[in-house]
Structure 1
Amino acid sequence: MARTSDKPTKPKRQNPFKRIASVYKTIKEIDPQVTLWMLLAFVVVLGIGTLIGLLMGHVIASLLIAVPFALLAAMIVLSRRGERAAFAQMEGQRGASIGGLSALRRGWYYDQEPVAADATKPNDIQAAAVVFRALGRPGVVLLGEGPKHRVDKLFAKESKKVSRIAPGVPVHTFIVGSGDGELPPRKIRVTLTKLRPSLSKQEMSVVNKRLKSLPGLRSGVPAGVDPNRARMDRKSLRGR
């Protein structure tokens, strides 16, 4: 009888060059000019390196240093153009807020699904007003998509919920879109990271648990927690 090994098989690592080629192919379909910009970045950096080498009398050594930097410049252009193209495709689509939130670095909690919605027609997400929620050191951030008057009503309801379970925690609201006074999806990360911090990491953890207890995300409330009487005791949040 043949013996079977109990050792887990290790997943094969994808060739980094194949991965870059796959990313490049995907981005090129969205942004046909990406190749031109990558070549331009490569040539400019390589030209600067060559010029420095000529001035210093060490062209070969300068090229050996410049080539990796030129490749890095091309990769940065690929990444930036790809990100810009992806956000351009999100414009006008419901759920664009998630694309912006996914660009946030560590230190933020956010929900993949809307925490509130107001649809005039069943299953018509494009005509609906929706609100996504994120939590970071600046407090709670509500991102709304859809008609302003309907989004504002959802903002008011969600702000009351937050104030009820976590009084004193700042609530920031933004309408995501491309119109006047609206926040483009590509600027969500920059805008949110510029907000003034007001919570510690320990406070964020407690607030996140309280937000998760709200109806609509998870049914019921954790034992021992009464959201109607919960208060933001900053000393208890930090731990005594």
Structure 2
Amino acid sequence: MARTKDTDATAAKPKKQGRIKQMVEVFKVTQEADRSTLPWMIGALVVSILVLTILSKLILGMVWYGIFLGIAVGLLAAMFILARKAESAAFNRIKGQSGAPLAAMQSIRRGWNVEEEPVQMDPRSQKMIFRASGRAGVAIVAEDGSGPSMRMLEKETRRVKRVLNNEPIPIHRIVVGDGEDQTPLHKLPSYLTRMKKTLTKDESAAVGKRLAALTPSLRTAVPKGIDPTRTRGVSKKAMMRGGR
């Protein structure tokens, strides 16, 4: 039994060290992209310690309790800031790249069923349209506000309406960009997540199945030599490596 415990402890130690190493790497990459990361993390730690120490002194008459609690809360706040900064840095690196909106959409953990391939693609400009369905309805996302993108956005909207038989299911047309009436790339996941849920789980599942029938038509529309599935590589690796 003793050997088993020693083996378990040895196996757990590298795993813990791996997580710490990963966090250090994330911090290095994020700090390199955004120099304000470290000052914000230190500021969160210091402010937490000061505020909780003062409150502990006034309410409980104890200083050390506030310091320990402040360190714990400050570390959590610093990790939260690091996570947000890392996410923002990752989005900034892939911004403007083909397939970037898909990477942003796939970062949503739940609530949306995101198509893994583009649903529309312009052979010349190689602009793409992406789609997702969920309890908030159907989201059709264009990479930018260019002419080809807007034409494909309109085309996909008509296709979705036909397959849904013009039922009163919300269809959200989203254009990624920094212009008026556009959604910045880094805000796309939160924008989708905050949408009002109007469908039940069963209704959402039924919509997803009906939309699945539209996907195969893209392959017949794309000329040879262009593989729409290559956007998967952007979506999965770009968020981890900054689209390098």
Q: Deviations over 1:19-41 (max 9, x none)?
A: 32122122222223311211111
Q: Deviations over 1:111-162 (max 9, x none)?
A: 2321101132xxxxxx432101011112111000144322222122212221
5+ long unaligned stretches in structure 2: 1-10, 221-244
**Which residue in the other structure is 1:145 paired with?**
143
Give the letter aligned to residue 155 of structure 1: L
**Which residue in the other structure is 1:75 paired with?**
79
5+ long unaligned stretches in structure 1: 1-9, 121-126, 220-240
Which of 85, 89, 100 in structure 2 is aligned with 1:85?
A: 89
The structure with the largest helix share of the pair is 2
Q: Which has the higher contact order (CA 8 A, sep 6+)?
A: 2
Which of 24, 29, 46 in structure 2 is aligned with 1:26?
A: 29
**Partner SS, residue 135 of structure 1:** strand
Distance 1:119 1:217, change over 3 A: closer
Which of 44, 69, 72 in structure 2 is aligned with 1:41?
A: 44
Structure-1 separation of matches of 2:197 and 2:57: 49
Tell whether the 8 Å contact from 2:142 to 2:174 is kept in structure 1 after alignment: yes
Tell whether the 8 Å contact from 1:142 to 1:174 is kept in structure 2 after alignment: yes
**Which residue in the other structure is 2:207 paired with?**
207
TM superposition score normalised by structure 2? 0.75
Count of residues in correspondence between the two structures: 204
**Which residue in the other structure is 1:172 paired with?**
172
Tell whether the 8 Å contact from 1:130 to 1:145 is kept in structure 2 after alignment: yes
C-alpha displacement at 1:14, in angstroms? 4.6
Give the letter aligned to residue 182 of structure 1: Q
Structure-2 separation of matches of 1:138 and 1:33: 36
Q: Does 1:111 align with 2:115?
A: yes
Q: Deviations over 1:139-198 (max 9, x none)?
A: 111000144322222122212221222221322111111222211012212322333323
Structure-2 separation of matches of 1:107 and 1:146: 24
**Which residue in the other structure is 1:6 paired with?**
none
Worse-superposed segment, 186-195 or 174-183: 186-195
Structure-2 separation of matches of 1:158 and 1:65: 53
Q: Deviations over 1:47-103 (max 9, x none)?
A: 112222332320112222221111111101111111222222233222221232133
Worse-superposed segment, 56-65 or 86-95: 86-95
Give the letter aligned to residue 15 of structure 2: R
Tell whether the 8 Å contact from 2:117 to 2:130 is kept in structure 1 after alignment: yes
Worse-superposed segment, 74-83 or 148-157: 148-157
Which of 80, 97, 100 in structure 2 is aligned with 1:96?
A: 100
Q: Does 1:13 align with 2:15?
A: yes
State the percentage of identical aligned residues.
Answer: 34
**Partner SS, residue 65 of structure 1:** helix
User: Greater CA radius of gyration, 1 or 2?
Assistant: 1
Which of 128, 144, 157 in structure 2 is aligned with 1:130?
A: 128
